[in-house]
Amino acid sequence: MNDYIMEVKDLKTHFHTKKGVVKAVDGVSFKVKKGEILAIVGESGCGKSVTSQSIMRLVGRKKSEEVTGEVLYNGENLMLKTEEEMRKVRGKDLSMIFQDPMTSLNPAYTVGTQIAEMPLIHERTGKKTAWKRAVEMLTKVGIPSPAKRASQYPHQFSGGMRQRGVIAMSLACDPDLIIADEPTTALDVTIQAQVLDLLRALRDDTGAAIILVTHDLGVVAELCDKVAVMYAGKIVEQGKIEDIFDRPSHPYTKGLLNSVPRPGKRERLQPIEGQPPNLHDLPNGCRFAERCPFVMDICREKEPELLAVDSDEHTSACWLEEEGRENDNRRDSKSRGAEEVL
């Protein structure tokens, strides 16, 4: 049986612009199991949102947006679906929570109406059942006086409540996978924590998988099972939470970890110097080479591949890893040679 709710294979999203081709996502692959929370992290502009939007097929509709690769949802390739088929998938099987709740909420309709629309469209329930579901969902996400609130408009909600409303909407049809793109960035710290607790509780409750896009490593450490670290359109390291936090391999991951405060760690913070490369004028070789404190000649010549570090699940794309592996092999063959002599 296939345990993976989602398998993304070699996803590429290239934008054709006047300035040239912007390779916003350039060969991204990852898998998410049922009930798992995967974090996608990386600096601003590295392609996290474009990855999420490409999975939902929200980009790729215009001629200038070229999306290739496979997005398997329960083994079915979403890339081959028509727009109409995708509309049935969105909101029901897969749902997305955007950073700004007003992207998802229409100011002209009550919050209850917008939540109720989900079961109305996707499950063809009656209006009464749909409204009941809307109130139920608002209760679930912790909105006080949910029956009254359901009849109010988005502007009558506070920012935190609006984001809860959006979460309620995205959960109304019990999706298997939720993609949450910086769902708490616009909120203050206390509300952030509440929304994250809510996401965790929902995962525990419904068994939905979550892809969480964030640049907050604190959130990642607390909430997620796995992490994919993106840099300039590629995943440079991927692994279980302890792989990434306790045994990071890629210098970029190490740089990210050193640049933010982490619970329990008191070392001095060191930002990563320099800027990511221009996505329409990418260098040969490793995209992080320019900023890497360990750069070698080969890094500027050839692009490193994602290879296993200490387990098949922990992968990193760095020539240092490769070199370490060769040294180990050399050591191994030397010791084998010594054994033969003995």
Ligand X SMILES: Nc1ncnc2c1ncn2[C@@H]1O[C@H](COP(=O)(O)OP(=O)(O)OP(=O)(O)O)[C@@H](O)[C@H]1O
Binding residues for Mg ion, rule: CB under 5 A, are 49
List the one residue from 1, 44, 128, 264 that touches ligand X (CB under 6 A). Answer: 44
List the one residue from 130, 279, 289, 309 that touches ligand X (CB under 6 A). Answer: 279
Measured from the CB of residue 256, what is the shortest distance to ligand X in angstroms?
13
Residues in the chain: 342
Indicate the residue whose CB is closest to Mg ion.
49
| Segment contacting ligand X by CB under 6 A, of 40-48, 82-90, 142-150, 236-244 | 40-48
Instruction: Say if residues 242 and 311 touch (Cβ distance below 8 Å).
Output: no
> Which residues in 198-257 contact ligand X (CB under 6 A)?
215
Considering the complex, state which of residue 27 and residue 45 has its C-beta at the smaller distance from Mg ion: 45
Residue 71 near which of Mg ion, ligand X, none (CB within 5-8 Å, type-dependent): none
d(CA 141, CA 146): 10
Paired tokens of 188: 């203050």
| Segment contacting ligand X by CB under 6 A, of 31-39, 47-55, 133-141, 193-201 | 47-55
| Segment contacting ligand X by CB under 6 A, of 41-49, 116-124, 149-157, 242-250 | 41-49
Residue 17 near which of Mg ion, ligand X, none (CB within 5-8 Å, type-dependent): ligand X
Applying CB under 6 A, what is the total number of residues that bind ligand X? 14
Residue 50 near which of Mg ion, ligand X, none (CB within 5-8 Å, type-dependent): ligand X
d(CA 7, CA 3): 10
Measured from the CB of residue 215, what is the shortest distance to ligand X in angstroms?
6
d(CA 252, CA 288): 7
Which residue pairs, CB below 8 angstroms and at least 24 apart, start in 325-334? none
Considering the complex, state which of residue 260 and residue 308 has its C-beta at the smaller distance from ligand X: 260
| Interface with ligand X, residue 190, by CB under 6 A | no
Measured from the CB of residue 223, what is the shortest distance to Mg ion in angstroms?
18
What is the H or E stretch that residue 296 is in? none
| Segment contacting ligand X by CB under 6 A, of 45-53, 77-85, 217-225, 323-331 | 45-53
* Chain Cα centroid distance, residue 20: 26
C-alpha angle 77/8/98, rounded to 5°?
100
Please identify which residue in the block is written with the tokens 């990071």: 248
Alpha helices in the chain (DSSP H): 48-55, 83-89, 101-104, 111-122, 127-140, 146-150, 159-171, 189-206, 217-223, 241-246, 251-259, 297-301, 319-341
| Segment contacting ligand X by CB under 6 A, of 17-25, 218-226, 290-298, 307-315 | 17-25
| Interface with ligand X, residue 183, by CB under 6 A | no
| Interface with ligand X, residue 49, by CB under 6 A | yes
Please identify which residue in the block is written with the tokens 């996978």: 177
Considering the complex, state which of residue 46 and residue 210 has its C-beta at the smaller distance from ligand X: 46
**CB atoms < 10 A from the CB of 242, how many?**
11
Fill in the amino acid letter for 243: D
Considering the complex, state which of residue 30 and residue 157 has its C-beta at the smaller distance from ligand X: 30
d(CA 193, CA 191): 5
Q: How far is CA 36 from CA 1, 171, 227, in A?
A: 17, 16, 11
Measured from the CB of residue 215, what is the shortest distance to Mg ion in angstroms?
9
| Interface with ligand X, residue 17, by CB under 6 A | yes
| Segment contacting ligand X by CB under 6 A, of 2-10, 46-54, 158-166, 263-271 | 46-54
| Interface with ligand X, residue 50, by CB under 6 A | yes
d(CA 24, CA 27): 10
Binding residues (CB under 6 A) for ligand X: these are: 15, 17, 22, 24, 42, 44-50, 215, 279
